[in-house]
């Protein structure tokens, strides 16, 4: 059974950079698309972007100028970097498999709060 686990800081200061990692176990990151989705408290889901194991990426146009994603096949991980954080970036961040289409496996999510 595939398992995804997000890791990273729970609190980040405004204007700083968020770095999250998703560790995949029970399967390989190779030859799949992987994605990030976030959800502010009490609100809906927002797609952040996707990365393929070759490093090819696509991002939400509303976040494109601030986001980067990558894959580390040697560690079976993929990552999200989001720059210039504001309070509006406070959310639960999910990593998931299948960002080209639908998402069939999800991590448990990590709450990231942007506050000084």
Partner 1 sequence: IVLTQSPVTLSLSPGEGATLSCKASQTVRSNYIAWYQQKTGQSPRLLIYGASSRAADIPDRFSGSGSGTNFTLTISRLEPEDFAVYYCQQYGSISLTFGGGTKVDVK
Binding residues vs partner 1 (CB under 8 A): 35, 37, 44-47, 50, 58, 60-61, 94, 99-104, 106-109
In the bound complex, what is the minimum distance in angstroms from residue 74's beta carbon to partner 1? 26
Residues 6+ apart with CB under 8 A from 115: 11, 13, 14, 87, 90
In the bound complex, what is the minimum distance in angstroms from residue 47's beta carbon to partner 1? 4
In the bound complex, what is the minimum distance in angstroms from residue 59's beta carbon to partner 1? 8
Between 16 and 98, CB nearer to partner 1: 98
Between 47 and 83, CB nearer to partner 1: 47
Residues 6+ apart with CB under 8 A from 89: 18, 38, 82, 112, 114
In the bound complex, what is the minimum distance in angstroms from residue 5's beta carbon to partner 1? 11
Between 83 and 105, CB nearer to partner 1: 105
Q: Contact at 8 Å (CB) between 111 and 92?
A: yes
Q: Contact at 8 Å (CB) between 53 and 69?
A: no
DSSP state of 44: -
Between 19 and 57, CB nearer to partner 1: 57
DSSP state of 89: G
């Amino acid at each position: 059974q595939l398992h995804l686990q997000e890791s990273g800081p729970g609190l980040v200061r405004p204007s700083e950079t968020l770095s999250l990692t998703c560790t995949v176990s029970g399967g390989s990151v190779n030859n799949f698309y992987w994605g990030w989705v976030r959800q502010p408290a009490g609100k809906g889901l927002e797609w952040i972007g996707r990365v393929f194991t070759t490093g090819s990426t696509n991002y939400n146009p509303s976040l494109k100028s601030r986001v980067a994603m990558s894959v580390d096949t040697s560690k079976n991980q993929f990552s999200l970097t989001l720059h210039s954080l504001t309070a509006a970036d406070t959310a639960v961040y999910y990593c998931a498999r299948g960002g080209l289409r639908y998402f069939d496996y999800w991590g448990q999510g990590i709450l990231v709060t942007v506050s000084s």
